[in-house]
Structure 1
């Protein structure tokens, strides 16, 4: 398993596609799957369009509307971040063929920060033969 770190903004989506592709290229796996995992309760990982930055802005706006600021009981004051993280999820699984990550034409992998700024980790495991 490989791991990399990134510094995040207060809230936002960071395109990590190139880093995941690099880790797959350096693996010895020709055919298999790649698991990307985020070990944080106020962040997540997702796949979405990476051609138009307005998609990311729209997603952040929609999350803010779906998870309003309410009188949450969690004392740290970051309950919306925990909820958004659960909505997005903490892992994705992707196919690897010929030692390359398979994504659709417009797809990219995004680290989703909901409670930054922070130094975060991403774990990547490539499995197969």
Structure 2
């Protein structure tokens, strides 16, 4: 799956696309693995509520601020993006039951863009039985 991002740092809800891939796979029971193909993006699960999304972005900036003298910035000035991606992780594994993702009521799957805007590739692998 390809996602076009529009900001330097943003959180994009990709739950609908992941659900579509599960449906199209025909797998009834198994697991769905969502992973990013980039070292300056992340995949995570949380609630898609506007205030919480803003809080997550704010906390990332406070914990790992841009331009804090990171050695990698000498190469391409995006060390903070790499470090934030390490904190958040690059994949999520989600159970599939009866042909559907097993997510809690408020859970959504997010792509975290940490060095955009860019075209990003997300791998969605569904493994299981029909």
Fold shared, TM-score > 0.5 on shorter chain: yes
TM-score (norm: length of structure 1): 0.94
Report the counterpart of residue 77 of structure 2 in structure 1.
Answer: 77
Could you give the per-residue CA deviations for residues 55-90 of structure 1, whole angstroms, max 9, x where no partner exists?
111000000000023111112110000000000010
Report the counterpart of residue 63 of structure 1 in structure 2.
Answer: 60
Query: Matched residues in 2 for 1:94 and 1:60: separation?
Result: 24
Report the counterpart of residue 11 of structure 2 in structure 1.
Answer: 13
Query: Matched residues in 1 for 2:51 and 2:121: separation?
Result: 25
Aligned residues: 125
RMSD over aligned CA atoms reads: 0.7
Could you list the runs of 5+ residues in structure 2 that have no partner in the other structure?
Answer: none
Establish whether residue 32 from structure 1 lines up as the match of residue 30 from structure 2: yes
Query: Matched residues in 1 for 2:88 and 2:71: separation?
Result: 22
SS in 1 for 2:59: helix
**Structure 1 runs, 4 residues or longer, greater than 6 Å off:** none
The Cα of 1:109 is off from its aligned counterpart by 0.3
TM-score (norm: length of structure 2): 0.94
Could you list the runs of 5+ residues in structure 1 that have no partner in the other structure?
Answer: none
